[in-house]
Amino acid sequence: MEESREVYQLYVGVDIAAETFVAAWLAPGGKPGTPFTGEQTPAGFAALQRRLQAPGHPPTATLVVLEATGNYWVALAVGLHEAGYRVAVVNPRRAHHFAKAQLRRAKTDALDARDLAQLAATLRPAPWTPPPAVYHEVRQRLAARDGLLAMRTQARNQRHALLQWPVVAAVVRQHLDELIADLDRRVAALEAEIAAVLKESAWAESLACLTSAPGIGLVTASWLLVGTLNFALCPGPESLTAYVGLAPVPRESGRSVRGRPSIGRDGNGRLRTALYMATLSAARFNPAIKAFYQRLRAAGRPKKVARCAAARKLLHQAWVLGSKLQHFDPGYQQQQHEALPDLAA
């Protein structure tokens, strides 16, 4: 998390719930103010802004910190941003560990808000900017597609279980067949919509460059563009690898801990899954990834380890294609990836 270089006159922490929020503020060198509880409504947001305006500090000199918990923070963050406030959205784990460092046992919404205000004053996280409209258009369709795929898997499992009985009710099988066919149509429709939205957006060229690589299809490319905001969140391939959670994490401490490096559970899990699944195809048809994967397997690396390492290579490749707006060149990619370390966990 980058630190903002701006000088602020007021630091605000907001603890978000489904229907309410609690805000606490702190002036540099002052004592925390009395927490304010509001509703997650336009009226509640307006009331918070009136409270923040009362001390006379301009919105641009006020840093508001919220946790990225679920989707409940979005409306308030967008409203404050549009009103001119500097808004920072932090990882809940970072906020959790910062609160633990305060060595307090009690936990209430008001105390959590005060901890966030203290975090804002201490760490001064960089301000957040709402993503463009294409992000919402694509991400919501991707999420809906995931939901439909889960429903289709459940329906297919039900059909398979039904067919194991010696007597099968034809009408029940027909219902399941029709449901599966309908889900197939809806998944295909969403994929067509995702392609159409991206091709009419500012991300169209990035999409074309990404999908030019064997193994990176429409869905994987879409998750990459959405998850990284068209690679704006990751200035280099190493930061992208860490962001996705595919970088090997060392486990060494003194003489007692000597674990092998392995990928952790941090990072963007959905994007990590998309890259891992894409590697199954890339290891067969992408020249650089195929050669690298086969080399690891020949060296005795287990399939899962080799695939995770190949997914990192594919992610490096995707960063070059998407951020530099280059189309896939088998010869160039082969040379580049041979020059990269294996990093096989």
At 254 the pLDDT is 64
Q: Across the beta sheet with 10-16, what order do the strands follow?
A: 36-39, 20-26, 10-16, 62-67, 86-90
At 34 the pLDDT is 87
* CA atoms of 179 and 163, how far apart (whole Å): 16
At 257 the pLDDT is 59
At 312 the pLDDT is 94
Task: Annotate 264-299 with b (16+ C-beta within 10 A) or e (fewer).
Answer: eeebbeebbebbbbbbebbbeebebbbebbebbbee
Cα maximum dimension of the chain: 77
Q: What is the DSSP letter of 294?
A: H
**pLDDT tens series, the chain, 345 aa:** 466 667 899 999 999 999 999 999 999 887 788 899 999 999 999 999 999 998 899 999 999 999 988 889 999 999 999 999 999 999 888 898 898 898 888 889 999 999 999 999 999 999 999 999 999 999 999 999 999 999 999 999 999 999 999 999 999 999 999 999 999 999 999 999 999 999 999 999 999 999 999 999 999 999 999 999 999 999 999 999 999 999 877 666 666 656 566 666 678 889 999 999 999 999 999 999 999 999 999 999 999 999 999 999 999 999 999 999 999 988 764 555 455 555 444
In 3-state terms, what secondary structure has residue 214?
coil
* CA atoms of 172 and 183, how far apart (whole Å): 17
Q: Judge: domain 10-123, CATH 3.40.50.2300.
A: no
At 330 the pLDDT is 82
Q: Quick one: which H or E segment has residue 179?
A: helix 170-199
At 343 the pLDDT is 47
With 0-12 CB in 10 A as exposed, 13-18 as middle and 19+ as buried, what is 125? buried
Neighbours of 156 (CB within 10 A): 14
Give CA separation, 72 vs 29, 40, 77, 340, in Å. Answer: 31, 8, 9, 41
